[in-house]
Amino acid sequence: MNNRGIAILESVIVTSTVIVMFTVMYTYVSQLISNYNARNKYDLVENTYKLNNIRAYIYSYGNINDIIYGDVMLNPRTITSIKNLNFNNNTKYNNIYIDMLDDMNVERIYFIYSEYIDGDLTNESELSTGDNNFDKYIKYITNKYRYKYRIVAKFKDNEYAQIKLWEVVSS
């Protein structure tokens, strides 16, 4: 008997099945690897310490209530840049703050109000900062952390960090 036709048909079916399986596996594995590589740059200890120093400086020389109760409370659906803070109209403290951000390689630094942290992502377009990777990080921390106020930073090497900001109530 001549079984060459059946053997060729079986080979084609098995080969195409294997190719489809490897294509699907490659798609999922490459997506997992890219997500791992991106999240590998989230909340590194060194960057968290840098952000803690920035927070301590803001508490020491700035008025944290101006950040918390400023325009953000009027429109809590915004991400407020705190790259240029006004330290009680003191140029010296302002310049030190800007130099500190530059020395720590901070590209962007934002104050985020609790509505983002509570997982309310119904208006995701309002989370946009114009930087797709940074927006992904904000969505990541939105689902992970449940604090009222946070400072979030993007560093120049595409690493990200966030830290809780405590409310200061003056008596």
Q: Is residue 170 part of a domain?
A: no
Domain membership of residue 67 (yes or no) is yes
pLDDT digits (tens, 9 = 90+) for 89-100: 788 888 888 899
Residues 53, 115: one domain?
Answer: yes
Does 14 share its domain with 51? Answer: no
- Domain-located, residue 169: no
Assess contact for 135 and 129: CB atoms under 8 A.
Answer: yes
pLDDT at residue number 122: 41
78 and 22 fall within a common domain: no
For residue range 112-143, what is the model confidence (pLDDT) as tens digits? 775 544 445 444 445 566 777 777 777 777 66
- Kindly state whether residues 99 and 55 are assigned to the same domain: yes
CA distances from 111 to 17, 68, 129 (A): 51, 8, 12
49 shares its domain with 122: yes
pTM assigned to the model: 0.65
Q: What domain range includes position 87? A: 43-164
- What is the per-residue pLDDT for 135? 77
pLDDT at 78 (0 to 100): 60
